[in-house]
Amino acid sequence: MLKCRQIEQLASDYLDKDLSFRQRMAFKLHLFICHNCRNYVRQLKITITSIKLMPANQIIVDDKTKALAKVLRENASKQ
Amino acid sequence: MTDKRDSHFYENDAALIDAMLEGDSTAFETAVALYHPRMVTIAKAIIGEAFAEEIAQDAWMSAIRSLSEFAGRSSLNTWLIQITANAAKTRLRREKRQVSLDENWQEKETADRFDHTGHWQEPVSQWELETPEAILANDQLSDIISKTFEQLPPQQQAVLSLYDLEGESMSEICNILDLSASNARVLLHRARSAIQQKIAQYQDND
Ligand SMILES: [Zn+2]
């Protein structure tokens, strides 16, 4: 029987479908009887989707960026 | 001076590269702003903090030299990451010493959430904000997520970006970062778990 601690450790593998058949069955059995782990796996799943949807629409162009860009552009034009 | 710009100013990689080949300074600034932080993260994940910036800059130089030959077989991002990873690995061999990475995360992170029988110390609640959309629509939470992401140890951050943000395969990630499959999976889970715990803290206190 898996402990809650092991469920926590295996949760990413479970959600990424990276567990063997036996492990998967044992995992599901634990979820069936454990309310806390059910909530935990749900939290992790929501977290992963949130990470994937993190907005990346804006980029920051600061002085350091401009300086490196300038060096690269000058090097490119020398070729 | 710091500007914020739309990351989709150039329609695609090809358009960005064409503009760079024409010597357009906005194109160079956009490319550096987009990719330099990711390259530094990859370098840090392989060789540690000390040489990362230098390696990323060297990687840029060699990328620029072969930019006109970049045929778009992969995305610009993947190509730059590969150049960076190779440069970091070469440097690591030359330094001939194991650079210690992520030394302190172990203790920090496993402030134990489980009791001696392996059960949760505290009950795990159902979140009030129950969808990713609701979470990201909350300014504080979306801020917490990006801050936590930026503060992850480099290896965790690199694996998380490559897997969850860029959709790279695990085998490709192991190859880029020189990690065993089991190690990469542990790093991925630690990274996700760190973010999950921060979201939980916020939701539980609210
Ligand atoms: Zn449990």
Q: How confident is the model at residue B14 (pLDDT cuts 50, 70, 90)?
A: confident
- Specify the 3-state DSSP secondary structure of A60: strand
The answer to whether residue B100 sits within a structural domain is: no
Secondary structure letter of residue B23 according to DSSP? T
Q: Could you say which of B63, B95, B127 is where a domain stops?
A: B95
Q: Check CB contact under 8 Å for B23 and A76.
A: yes
B130 and B65 belong to one structural domain: no
The answer to whether residue B12 sits within a structural domain is: yes
Exposure pattern of A4-26 as b/e (b: 16+ CB <10 Å)?
A: bbbbbebbbbbbeeebeeeeeeb
> Above pLDDT 90, what percent of chain A?
81
Q: Check CB contact under 8 Å for A54 and B32.
A: no
Higher pLDDT: B78 or B174? It is: B174
Higher pLDDT: A47 or B106? It is: A47
- State yes or no: pLDDT of A79 exceeds 70: no
- State yes or no: pLDDT of A58 exceeds 90: no
B116 and B200 belong to one structural domain: yes
B87 and B163 belong to one structural domain: no
The answer to whether residue B161 sits within a structural domain is: yes
Can you give the pLDDT at residue B177?
A: 95
* Domain boundaries, position B199: 109-205
- State yes or no: pLDDT of A77 exceeds 90: no
Q: How far is the CA of A6 from the centre of ligand 1 (A)?
A: 8
- Determine which of A7-21, B6-20, B184-198 has the lowest per-residue pLDDT on average: B6-20
B163 and B82 belong to one structural domain: no
ipTM of the complex: 0.90
Can you give the pLDDT at residue A24?
A: 97
Tell me the residue length of chain B: 206
B76 and B162 belong to one structural domain: no
The answer to whether residue B1 sits within a structural domain is: no
A51, A58, A63 ranked by CB distance to B195: nearest: A51
pTM of the model: 0.88
Give CA angle at B55 (B52, B57), nearest 5°.
110
Which residues touch B11 (CB under 8 Å, ≥6 apart)?
none
Question: What CATH number has the domain bearing residue B63?
Answer: 1.10.1740.10
Q: How many domains does chain A have?
A: 1
Distance between B186 CA and the closest CA of chain A, angstroms: 8
Taking the Cβ of residue B121 and every Cβ of chain A, the question of whether any pair is shorter than 8 Å is answered with no
B119 and B84 belong to one structural domain: no
Can you give the pLDDT at residue B107?
A: 45
B68 and B118 belong to one structural domain: no
Here the tokens at position B69 are 């030959």
Q: Which residues of B touch A56 (CB under 8 A)?
A: 7, 165
Can you give the pLDDT at residue B94?
A: 85
B121 and B189 belong to one structural domain: yes
- State yes or no: pLDDT of A60 exceeds 50: yes
Q: Which of A31-45, B70-84, B90-104 has the highest mean pLDDT?
A: A31-45
- Specify the 3-state DSSP secondary structure of B67: helix
Can you give the pLDDT at residue B12?
A: 86
* Domain boundaries, position A64: 4-77
Q: Which residues of B touch A18 (CB under 8 A)?
A: 185
Question: What CATH number has the domain bearing residue B150?
Answer: 1.10.10.10
The answer to whether residue B104 sits within a structural domain is: no
Distance in angstroms (rounded) separating the CA atoms of residues B2 and A65: 9
Can you give the pLDDT at residue B35?
A: 93
B87 and B115 belong to one structural domain: no
B76 and B132 belong to one structural domain: no
> Above pLDDT 90, what percent of chain B?
72
B83-119 tens-digit pLDDT = 999 999 999 888 866 555 554 444 455 568 999 999 9
- State yes or no: pLDDT of B199 exceeds 60: yes
